Structure 1
Amino acid sequence: MNDRETTSPAGATPAKSAVVARRALRDGVYDAILEKLLDGSAPPGSSLGIDPLARELQVSPTPVREALVQLEHTGLVSRVALKGYRVAPPLSPEQLRELFDMRGILEVAAVERAAERAEDLLPELRVAHAQHVLAAHNVRQRRGDGERPPDYADMREYFAADWEFHLTIIRAAGNRFLTEAAESLNTHVHRLRQTAHHGILDMDQALSEHAAILAAFESGDRELLRSTMRDHLSAVAHRVSVDG
């Protein structure tokens, strides 16, 4: 990833091409640092030096600095006066409670609205659930006999499929601001995986709970749908608090 090796899109003016290339580079650096935060290679409390990261990613310090400013807004990193950036500590019990409170408010509202579009939603939600089941199967296959503990590389596809199931419902609510609010929680939802390394332990429960939500949509029972989503989020919060 070298910021000196960029090409201009066909037909773009040099000025516009430079802006696009710089934005793409910054986003690539952001994703690379985010990966380090979520896979555990940059553990909570560790320092994030701009120059070392620039050398590691083979870029200039500028896109690294810009990416760290972005990450500071997510709460994943913090800036300490005269000491630079550090990986934020794990979510506290209070923060976890607030996160699940917010998810409950947002996602129960989403299922109520998505229920009005259940006929259109169901095919897409069935696909999302099938992809989640497949991702869980792939994790089990990679782990073989189950003796090796899971790592982030094992769980990446599974985490993405899990969250995509929820986003499929939220998008079906038909409110762009609701969707934006949910997507803004994405890094925090992944961050709770850092806080409680329970991923492999609750795969069966999560799949079963998602299947129940899908069945509730199929039944057309809106009260069942609301209670099923509330029960799922409550169960996840409990598992996190027990394992965290």
Structure 2
Amino acid sequence: MATRTTHLTRKVLRDDVHDALLEMLMTQQLAPGQSLSIDSLARQLGVSPTPVREALVELEHTGLVTRAALKGYTVTSPLSARQMAELIDARQVIELAAVERAVRTPGIVESLKDVHADHEAVIRRYGLDGPAGVREATQDQILECFRADWAFHEAIIRSCGNRFIQQMASILGANVHRMRQTMDVGLTDAMDALHEHAEIVAAFEGGDPATAVEAMRKHLELVSGRAQAEAANPE
């Protein structure tokens, strides 16, 4: 029984460290290209090096950190144009499959309306529907806005009824945020994304899988287009 308790305590600690490091990465407290010292992170978080090492192993699978022999871990550099195109392609493969399967799931429309309302509330709360709010947004506000946006997509993925699609989608969230950090469009397109999500909700209300898939396809293509435009015309 003591062994079981010890195992659970260690797992909870590792999960807490993982979440703490993930937030530091997503708010750029750990900047792209930065070398990561396990001992230093352990001291900063007030834990032993073991859960930090275990959390970094998990984060490596998301692509947010990389590990090189004899050099240790480094925060991954911003996405290249090719990596961004591959990410959009992966999102289309996974998310369109999820949409097709989730359309007729009982309660899905209500769930989408709820997360859509939450997303809009975050945008209005911080004034992110106007240029002044975007310019003055803090990293925490950026992260909250991203999470509210991604929660819409997660609601569909969770409702698709296929655990393997859900598993494949589990690493998308962090990489989508990484794309937004790379292109700096995480807030400037907040209202565009909100309107496109509304069109997806309307398509789900109609109950036709093909229409819902097309609405999501259009949204992902527009996200890609905005990212490419930002890359071509950086401020």
Query: Do they fold alike, i.e. is TM over 0.5?
Result: yes
Could you tell me the TM-score, scaled by structure 1's length?
Answer: 0.87
Give distance in 2, aligned partners of 1:140 and 1:205. 15
Which of these residues, 126, 146, 154, is aligned with residue 139 of structure 1?
126
Inter-partner Cα distance in structure 1 for 2:60 and 2:132? 40
1:46 pairs with one of 34, 38, 41: 34
- Point out the structure with max Rg over C-alpha: 1
Matched, 1:23 2:11: yes
> Of 209, 212, 220, which aligns to 1:225?
212
Question: What's the CA shift for 1:147?
Answer: 7.2
> Gaps (5+ residues) in structure 2?
none
Q: Which amino acid aligns with 1:190?
A: H
1:196 & 1:106 partners in 2: Cα distance?
A: 22
Q: Distance in 2 between matches of 1:221 and 1:75?
A: 35
Give the drift of 1:110.
1.9
The CA deviation at 1:184 is 2.7
Match of 2:91 in 1: 103
Deviation, 1:153, is 0.2
Q: Which residue of 1 aligns with 2:25?
A: 37
Percent identity of paired positions between Structure 1 and Structure 2: 47
- SS of structure 2 residue aligned to 1:42: coil
Match status 1:186 vs 2:173 = yes
Q: Distance in 2 between matches of 1:112 and 1:69?
A: 33
Distance 2:165 2:183 in 1: 27
Distance 1:77 1:116 in 2: 38
Counterpart contact for 1:106–1:178, Cα < 8 Å: yes
Residue 84 (str. 1) matches residue 72 (str. 2): yes
Once the two structures are TM-superposed, the CA of residue 221 in structure 1 deviates from its matched residue by: 4.2
- Inter-partner Cα distance in structure 2 for 1:74 and 1:159: 17
1:74-223 equivalences under 5 Å are 74-117=62-105, 120-140=107-127, 145-146=132-133, 148-223=135-210
The number of residues matched between the two structures is 231
Amino acid corresponding to residue 34 of structure 1 in structure 2: L
Q: Hey, what's the Cα distance between the residues in 2 that align with 1:177 and 1:94? A: 26
With the length of structure 2 as denominator, give the TM-score of the two structures. 0.90
Name the stretch that deviates more: 222-231 or 20-29.
222-231
- RMSD of aligned Cα (Å): 2.1
Distance 2:205 2:134 in 1: 38
* Partners of 1:25 and 1:63 within 8 A in 2: yes
d(CA) in 1 for partners of 2:229, 2:36: 30
One-letter code of the match for 2:219? H
Which ranges of structure 1 fall in alignment gaps of 5 or more residues?
1-12
C-alpha distance 205-145 of structure 1, shift in aligned 2 (>3 A): closer
Pairing partner for 1:240 from 219, 227, 235: 227
Cα distance in structure 1, aligned partners of 2:131 and 2:204? 34
